Structure 1
Amino acid sequence: MNEDKCFADAAFSDIEVVARYTEGPRRVVPGFLDMQRMASLLLAERVPENGRVLVVGAGGGLELKAFAEAQPSWSFDGVDPSAEMLTLAEQTMGPVASRVHLHHGFIDVAPDGPFDAATCILTMHFVGPEERRRMASEIRRRLKPGAPFVVAHLSVPQNDEERTVWLSRYAAFAVSSGVESEKAMKARDTVDSQLSILTPGEDETILQEAGFSNVSLFYVGFAFRGWVAYA
């Protein structure tokens, strides 16, 4: 297991971190709820009425709940390495949990499918480039031909000046959302030192090398970016 995985495991095994998680994304990710809604619409362009969707990094259950409520005939498989976050997902989903199968582990524990679509939201920045390539390839292998894949995470230019500017904007948005300034700056420093942030070009190349086509940017929220691509 690489250091990036170890960091994610430690962070999302912390009871206090897990307890606060459901409020976190909307406070630090600009347009988080609209990004989820856009993701759902992009999936719906190709997923059939009774489609089956793979959600990688499903802990917390936020996107599972959003997708399941928007599409009441879809079923889902959610994968996450944190048992605590999967427990939170069950609580978050409420009644729609009956259409979701949760799997504890990394991408390897996901069913082979084939799935009609997949998502990986706010997850890839927790793993290094090589693991990211492997995840993208494993997700692609589990999709039907032409199936959409929606992915979103931190992605910024990497020269020192630009990286600093974008991560400072990340902190400023958190403060504007009500996060205490000291905590926002501490989070910014943790993101800078602990997470694996690539450039947008590198992220797109990983998707292309995994076998995805028509990689298109659909979302930018300061330091976060989201793409849709097709198997």
Structure 2
Amino acid sequence: MPNNSAPAFSGSTVDSYNEGPPRQVPGYLSLHRMVPLLLAEQMPADGRVLVLGAGGGQEIKALADAHPGWSFDGVDPSADMLRLARRVISPHDARVRLHEGYIGSAPEVLFDAATCILTFHFISREQRLETLKELRRRLKDGAPFILVHLSFPQTEPERSKWIARHVAYGLPEGADPAHGQASREAIGARLTILSPEEEVTMLEGAGFSDASLFYAGLSIKGWVAYAA
């Protein structure tokens, strides 16, 4: 079972974390409107959602704002990120349970849906399939699963072009070009990025079916799939 699948953010990284996604992810607010819409197609009004990579709290907040009957279990390896999440989701505190750890720390129950947004590119290729299988094992048959992260072709020159586009979009106006170069090198070396075709194949191998692309914002892709 995966137990070291993604880094645990801490310190100043946590303090500024929620400033990053709206700047770096095209259509970030719209993405958070799409996710509850897709989940609601299959979920009951009192459904329970598993959120893998819940640190920061923005994902749970958007879902809880949209559906007052849903409850949530959020999992994240960083205690600091979970404290940030708790502040963000405080209006919905009674409906949220937060768990420190990786997928193995998620409750052994059958959820009505699951999400994992902007997390999987931190998980190594070796751990991804097992993480997906453990997530699938915690879902009811037919339950929807939303997966969103960096994904683009992994052959050159396309790979380098997409990394450059991602960095350029997220840079503040007037940023030092050297910072962009450092960011491109860091993404290429530290993150695990698969092609969209590989992503769908891995979802199918973990027990999900009918995977379809519902979101594409430059280098970031989002799929909805269903527990087969």
Q: 1:165 aligns with which of 161, 165, 186?
A: 161
Q: Distance in 2 between matches of 1:26 and 1:198?
A: 23
Q: 1:180 aligns with which of 175, 184, 205?
A: 175
2:38 is equivalent to residue 64 of structure 1: no
Q: Percent identity?
A: 52
Q: Which residue of 2 aligns with 1:225?
A: 221
Q: TM-score scaled to structure 2, two decimals?
A: 0.94
Correspondence list, 1:1-231, <5 A? 5=5, 8-9=7-8, 12-13=9-10, 15-175=11-171, 178=173, 180-181=175-176, 182-231=178-227
CA contact (8 A) 2:5 2:102 kept: no
Corresponding residue pairs, total: 225
CA contact (8 A) 1:54 1:117 kept: yes
Q: 1:137 to 1:87 in 2, by over 3 A?
A: same
Q: 1:88 to 1:128 in 2, by over 3 A?
A: same
Q: Distance in 2 between matches of 1:79 and 1:49?
A: 22
Q: TM-score scaled to structure 1, two decimals?
A: 0.93
For structure 2, the 5+ residue unaligned runs are none
CA contact (8 A) 2:5 2:127 kept: no
CA contact (8 A) 2:49 2:73 kept: yes
For structure 1, the 5+ residue unaligned runs are none
| Greater helix content | 1
Q: Distance in 1 between matches of 2:173 and 2:24?
A: 10
CA contact (8 A) 1:57 1:78 kept: yes
- State the 1:68 CA deviation: 0.4
- State the 1:118 CA deviation: 0.1
Q: Deviations over 1:62-116 (max 9, x none)?
A: 1001100011110000000111100110011121122100000000010122100
Q: Give the stretch that moved more between structures: 63-72 or 182-191.
A: 182-191
- State the 1:190 CA deviation: 1.4
Structure 2 counterpart of 1:200, which letter? P
Q: CA RMSD in A?
A: 1.7
The DSSP-based 3-state class of the residue aligned with 1:50 is: coil
- State the 1:180 CA deviation: 2.5
